[in-house]
Chains A and B, each alone.
Chain A
Amino acid sequence: MSSHIGSEHWQTGPTPSTTIEDSRCFTVIVRGETFGLPIEAVQTVFRIEEVTPVPLGPEEVLGLVNLRGKIVTAVSLRRRLRIKEENHFKGLLAIGIEHRGENFALVVDEVGDVITLDPKCRIPLPTHLDPLSLSLTNSVYKIETDILPILDMTSVFDFQRRANFGDL
């Protein structure tokens, strides 16, 4: 069961330009850090009421969630980034994302805004980011004084890669 927050106007709204150079992203916040998600990937934002844990499953997977009759796999961005765990399952904030035909709910601390990315602000991947975040990052933009890493959906939902960073 899930309650719906926010509107979905950006879900179906036409994107005026879809080139990578001039794209928009949706920001989420985990442990005070802001990350961008490619706007095309984001389908909905909802609050998770109940999670069915998956025994023996990958540890990033919080469990399964019923999103309006559809079963989605809830993945914790905190766990994915190896950030200390939140302890409660109720009322988690999640972004509905379809990736490679599988429905995911990416659990985050807070949601931000839709931001238009100016290609001029794109900067090379900063080396001081920790390797794990770096491996999940597609590109980095400089927004005023902050840097905004745009997450790469394929890496975020590819748990097998975790093995490479098992010691981190």
Chain B
Amino acid sequence: MDELLGDFLTETAEFIDAVSSQLVLFEKTPDDKAIIAGIFRLLHTIKGTCGFLGLTRLAVLTHAAETLIDRLRDGAKGTPEAVSLILETIDRVKFILKELEETAQEPHGDDTDLIKALEAQIACATIEAREPEPAADTSGTRELASASAEAAAPLSRRTETIRVTVDVLERIMVLVSELVLTRNQLLDLSRRHGDETTKAPLQRLSSLTTDLQDTVMRARMQPMGRLFASLPRLIRDLSQELGKKINLVTEGGDTELDRQLIELIRAPLTHLLRNCADHGIESLEERIAAGKPVAGTIQVVASHEANYISIYVTDDGRGIDLPRIRAKVLAKGLATPAEVAAMSDDELCHFIFLPAFSTADVVTNISGRGIGMDVVRNNIEEIGGSISLSTTAGKGTRFSMKIPLTLAIAPALIVQIGSHRFALPQHSVVEVVGIGDDSRHEIETVRGSLVLCLRDEVLPLTDLRLVLGLMDEEDLTERKEFRAVVMRVGSQTFAIMVDAVADVQEVVVKPLGASLAHLKVFSGHTILGDGSVVLILDPTGIATGLGLVQSEAYSVAAIPEAEEAKNIRLVLFRAGPGTVKAIPLSLIVRIETVASSALQRSDGMFIMQHRGQLMLILQVCDGELSEEHPVLVLGVGGESMGLLVDEILDIVEEPMEVEIASTTPGVIGTARIQNMIVDVLDVAHFMRTARPDAFARAFSRRFQVLLVDDKPFFRDMLAPVLAAGGYHVITAESGHDALAQLAKGRHIDAVITDIDMPDMNGYALAHTISSDPRFASMPILALAAHAAPAIEQAATASGMCGVVGKFDRIALLQTLDTILDVRELGGHDLEAKIIREMAA
């Protein structure tokens, strides 16, 4: 690419950023002459350079926008339309620039739409224009630097600069890293040999290296303001999209951060702001009702602290709905009720960083897709940072991020266990305490796990040897003295036992190669001063390994895995010749012994009088009946049926791992249980075999149906039809009567209603029922003299799930069957799915 063009593109990108943030400012304070002048000048510069480089499309477009801004500068009113239009123009310019960057050619295309709109605005602006104030021009330009020092810095504060490619900086950084290592090695040697002659120059070399390291780091630093510059535009767009009023306050734009890190935190920061704007800040009405200022405020504050940067993102919105989180944690089975009750608000908040954990009811395109906060946390933790949040209901939420200054060099403790040494990044180390005979800190065992009693805190404690699986190769004699390193990851504090802390060193972090990258307890490796290689421990990885941090291990997706490892109670039995068979005990309600004389054969199955009802019994394996048989009574989804078997062998509790999946219907697969080869049966198959049969309906749990019709003739005609189909029928003679029956709390599985009724017709009834949250999922079927598309549409609109003709007996039963089967089988399928997943 042409060098001139390359320079132009880089500079223009900076200009454009500056313009966007100024325009948003300008929309709020349309009278600020200084800002207008600034915008004008920036656009003018772009236009000028475009002309020079022969970029005509860009030149024409920026010219039109510039003319409009010129009008505004002359005193025309800055309407929101004008601002939107200019923002749109800038988006187009960005697009053209992007193409330019890729192809070095202006893309073909037409901007007349925008130019026309701009010209129309120019025309309006001219009419409204007041007397031009020539004085504003010059003074405005002069004020530019002070009014928007951050955004316009590259323009107005022309200090001597040269452009250096990032590659060169990276190379220098690598060299300095190597130099630091060599310096450390030299210092180490000098310490050991105690050579006085080299001591002074070595000291000098040492301090020079440190200075050089700092300087190179600073060369890579960029002000946070660069990141902040894009935020006003984001907030403006968000507030328009969401119909909320949001003010953005940024502080600490001059805080400097490694450029690599600035780019890495751009995405998570943007996502946080979206979250604050979407979930945090309430709607206008809500804010007024709560007596808050109409405009919400999102504050982004960056500050420099010791070896890291703190970034706070605070909103004054509704705060996080803790009861909702609590409910969701329980619903998803992420913690037991007792655990949830014991959790502090902060710990509870931490759950929103889990994958697929969104409390938003409405999924908007701003945020709330159930992905996001976990990604934010991952992004931050990947760069050695941490994120936490605190919230006050009704007052707002604050996200706190800690970001290391640089990724390349980090201070670390060198800890020792046995002959092994590891580097432990200092950023998560809270303190190191000595444990021994004369130590005031005690170690206790609580329910089999070690805890460290540190002052008034009780911290989970673990041996690093255990974490790293080094137990077997070291002598396990009780150590009298060791160190406990207290670490903090997210909101969790814990301690690990090491033999000693050997040193504190600045380590140059190098990522692990692909063949070792899967080891989550290590974040990288480094070379120490003495030339030896050490692995860098990852505090987050350790905490996750200990189950302290709610991480992927607790995610929803991981639950089936957790269950797989769990033991499952199985009933082992014999049925027919061949392999022993098994069924999970949880699916069996009870086991009964049945005399063959009580069984009646019907339609390939058996029927038995059972507690006053008929129960369907399937024989697992066809064969001659003996005098007595055990029957496994299955209760799946509220229905019961029996499985006739030959002999119950045992009930075992074993992890069920199906090793060979089966293709035979009714068998999930083959598992090895207590050294026996066992066929695990697919209960769902037997349920399905039994259900389609017309008898099954009658003999299994009966569905209760509410039949609503104003004419006794139809009630009397249809009730027996439904009863014969296996349903319990309750009748109602009007819509009001039906509602009264429902209100009484009678359990009803479906409503069948006539459409044409006096007083309250079928549609109105359906509408009333389906808008009641208690009956939201109630299937409602319409009865019509004939099924016409218009009726079907109206029925669907009022919340009904189908229309059948009054005289179409078969369609009525079939539709009802389908609706209720779908609903009822939903539960069965889930169970079937769980069993199948185990098989997979």
* Chain A residues with a Cβ under 8 A of chain B: 1, 50, 52-58, 61, 63-66, 69, 71, 73, 75, 100-104, 157, 159
- Contact status of A53 and B420, CB under 8 A, knowing A65-B533, A69-B527: yes
Which one of B509-517, B626-634, B691-699, B752-760 contacts A? B509-517
CB distance from B470 to the nearest CB of A (A): 6
Interface residues of B in 166-212 (CB under 8 A from A): 178, 181
Give B510's nearest chain A residue, CB to CB. A71
B243 interface residue per 8 A CB criterion: no
Q: Kindly state the separation between the CA atoms of A41 and B531 in the bound complex, as whole angstroms.
A: 26
**Is A66 a contact of B515 with CB atoms below 8 Å?**
no
A73 to chain B, nearest CB (A): 5
Provide the residues of chain A in CB contact with B510, threshold 8 Å. 71
Near A by CB (< 8 A), chain B positions 492-542 give: 510, 513-516, 519, 521-522, 525-527, 531-535
Pair B531/A1 contact, Cβ less than 8 Å: yes
Given contacts A69-B178, A69-B527, A71-B527, whether A57 and B519 have CB atoms under 8 Å apart is yes
> What A residues does B181 contact at CB under 8 A?
69
Q: Does B638 contact A (CB under 8 A)?
A: no
Which residues of B in the span 432-478 have a Cβ within 8 Å of any Cβ on A?
468-470
Establish whether residues A66 and B527, one from each chain, have CB atoms under 8 Å apart when the complex forms: yes
Of B178, B516, B531, B534, the residue contacting A57 (CB under 8 A) is B516
Partner of A71, one of B178, B469, B515, B525: B525
Of A52, A55, A61, A102, which is within 8 A of B533 by CB? A52
Q: Across the two chains, which residue of chain B brings its CB closest to A50?
A: B532
Of B468, B531, B533, the contact of A64 (CB 8 Å cutoff): B533
CA distance A69 to B177 in the complex (A): 11
Measured CB to CB, the nearest residue on chain A to B528 is A66
Query: Given the interface contacts A64-B535, A66-B532, A71-B510, does A56 sit within 8 Å of B515 by beta carbon?
Result: no
- Which B residues touch A50, using CB under 8 A? 532
CA distance A55 to B467 in the complex (A): 9
The 7 closest A-B pairs by CB, nearest first: A102-B513, A55-B468, A64-B533, A52-B533, A66-B533, A1-B531, A71-B525
Q: Are A66 and B516 in contact (CB under 8 A)?
A: no
Smallest distance from the beta carbon of B626 to chain A beta carbons, Å? 44
Residues of B within 8 A of A103 (CB): 513
Inter-chain pairs besides A52-B534, A56-B469, A159-B515, 16 sampled, C-beta below 8 Å: A1-B531, A52-B420, A55-B420, A55-B468, A56-B519, A58-B515, A64-B535, A66-B532, A66-B533, A69-B178, A71-B525, A73-B515, A101-B514, A102-B513, A104-B513, A104-B515
Give the chain B neighbours of A56 by CB distance below 8 A. Answer: 468-469, 519, 521
Q: A54-B535, A56-B521, A65-B533 are in contact. Are A102 and B514 (CB under 8 A)?
A: yes
Greatest chain B CB density within 10 A among A65, A71, A73, A75 is at A71
388-417 of chain B: CB within 8 A of chain A: none
Instruction: Tell me the complex Cα distance, A103–B514, Å.
Output: 10
Nearest opposing residue in chain A for B545, CB measure: A56
CA distance A103 to B510 in the complex (A): 13
Query: B524's closest neighbor in chain A, by CB?
Result: A71
Whole-angstrom distance between the alpha carbons of A56 and B526 in the complex? 18
- Measured CB to CB, the closest approach of chain B to A106, in angstroms, equals 12
Contact, CB under 8 Å: B513 / A52? no
B516 near A73 with CB under 8 A, answer yes
Asked, given contacts A61-B515, A66-B533, A69-B181, whether A55 binds B469 with beta carbons under 8 Å apart, the answer is yes
Residues of A within 8 A of B531 (CB): 1, 66
* CB <8 Å contact, B532 and A61: no
| Chain A residues whose C-beta falls within 8 Å of the C-beta of B516 in the assembled complex | 54, 57-58, 61, 73
A52, A58, A103: most-surrounded residue (chain B CB, <10 A): A52
Complex CA–CA separation, A69 to B525 (angstroms): 12
A44 and B468 alpha carbons, distance in the complex (Å): 32
> Which residues of B lie under 8 Å from residue A66 when comparing CB positions?
527, 531-533
Answer whether A64 and B469 are a contact pair too, CB < 8 Å, given A69-B178, A73-B513.
Answer: no
Sample 21 A-B pairs with CB under 8 A, ordered by A number: A52-B420, A52-B532, A52-B533, A54-B519, A55-B468, A55-B470, A56-B468, A58-B516, A64-B525, A64-B535, A65-B533, A69-B178, A69-B181, A71-B525, A71-B526, A71-B527, A75-B515, A101-B514, A102-B513, A102-B514, A102-B515
CA distance A91 to B535 in the complex (A): 21
CB distance from A63 to the nearest CB of B (A): 8
Task: Collect the chain B residues with CB atoms within 8 Å of residue A64's CB.
Answer: 525, 533, 535
Cβ contacts under 8 Å, A65 to chain B? 533
What is the bound-complex CA distance between A50 and B532, given in angstroms? 8
| Nearest chain B residue, comparing its CB with the CB of A49 | B531
Which has the most chain B C-beta neighbours within 10 Å: A56, A69, A73, A104? A56
Scoring B residues 799 to 827 as 1 if CB is less than 8 Å from chain A, else 0, what string do you get? 00000000000000000000000000000
Q: Which residues of B contact A69 (CB under 8 A)?
A: 178, 181, 527
Kindly state the separation between the CA atoms of A35 and B503 in the bound complex, as whole angstroms. Answer: 44
Q: Which one of A52, A54, A55 has the greatest number of beta carbons of chain B within 10 Å?
A: A55
Within 8 A of A (CB), among B262-309: none
Measured between beta carbons, the chain B residues less than 8 angstroms from A61 are: 515-516
CB-based nearest B residue for A75: B515
Chain B residues with Cβ below 8 Å from A101 are 514
Contacts of A57 in B (CB 8 A): 516, 519
Residues of A within 8 A of B526 (CB): 71
Q: How far apart are A76's CB and chain B's nearest CB, in angstroms?
A: 13
The CA of A56 and the CA of B521, in the complex, are separated in Å by 9
B189 to chain A, nearest CB (A): 13
B510 to chain A: closest CB distance in Å?
6
A1: chain B residues at CB < 8 Å are: 531
Give the docked Cα–Cα distance between A63 and B525 (Å): 11
**Cα-based distance from A159 to B525 in the complex (angstroms):** 20
Q: Which residues of A contact B521 (CB under 8 A)?
A: 55-56
- Bound together, the chains give a CA A1 to CA B527 distance in angstroms of 10
- Complex CA distance for A165 and B300, rounded to whole angstroms: 55
Question: Would you give the shortest CB distance from B514 to chain A, in whole angstroms?
Answer: 5
CA distance A50 to B469 in the complex (A): 21
CB distance from B170 to the nearest CB of A (A): 16
The minimal Cβ–Cβ distance linking A141 to chain B, given in whole angstroms, is 28
Cα–Cα, bound, A157→B516 (Å): 11
Q: In the assembled complex, how far is the CB of residue B785 from the closest CB belonging to chain A, in whole angstroms?
A: 68
Tell me the smallest distance from the CB of B333 to a CB of chain A, in Å.
Answer: 29
Q: Are B514 and A52 in contact (CB under 8 A)?
A: no
Residues in A with CB closer than 8 Å to B515 are 58, 61, 73, 75, 102, 104, 157, 159
Q: How far, in whole Å, are A27 and B468 apart by their CA atoms in the complex?
A: 36
Counting chain B CB atoms within 10 Å of each CB, the highest count among A53, A61, A100 belongs to A53
What is the CA–CA distance of A103 and B535 in the complex, to the nearest angstrom? 16
Bound complex: CA of A73 vs CA of B533, how far in Å?
A: 11
Closest approach, in angstroms, between the C-beta of A61 and any C-beta of chain B? 7
Residues on A with C-beta less than 8 A from B513 are 73, 102-104
In the complex, the chain B residue whose C-beta lies closest to that of A67 is B533
Q: Note all chain A residues with C-beta closer than 8 A to B522.
A: 54
How far does the alpha carbon of A34 sit from the alpha carbon of B6 in the complex, in Å?
A: 55
- Shortest beta-carbon distance from A70 to chain B in Å: 9
- A residues less than 8 Å from B469 (CB atoms): 55-56
Complex Cα spacing A1 to B468, Å? 25
B514 to chain A: which residues have CB within 8 Å? 100-102
Closest chain A CB from B232 CB (angstroms): 40
Provide the residues of chain B in CB contact with A100, threshold 8 Å: 514
Residues of B within 8 Å of A55, CB to CB, are 420, 468-470, 521, 535
Q: Which residues of A contact B470 (CB under 8 A)?
A: 55
How far is it, in angstroms, between the C-alpha of A103 and the C-alpha of B533 when the chains are bound?
A: 14
Measured between C-beta atoms, what is the minimum distance from A1 to chain B in Å?
A: 5
A58–B533 CA distance with the chains assembled, in angstroms: 18
Q: How far is the CB of B478 from chain A (nearest CB, A)?
A: 22
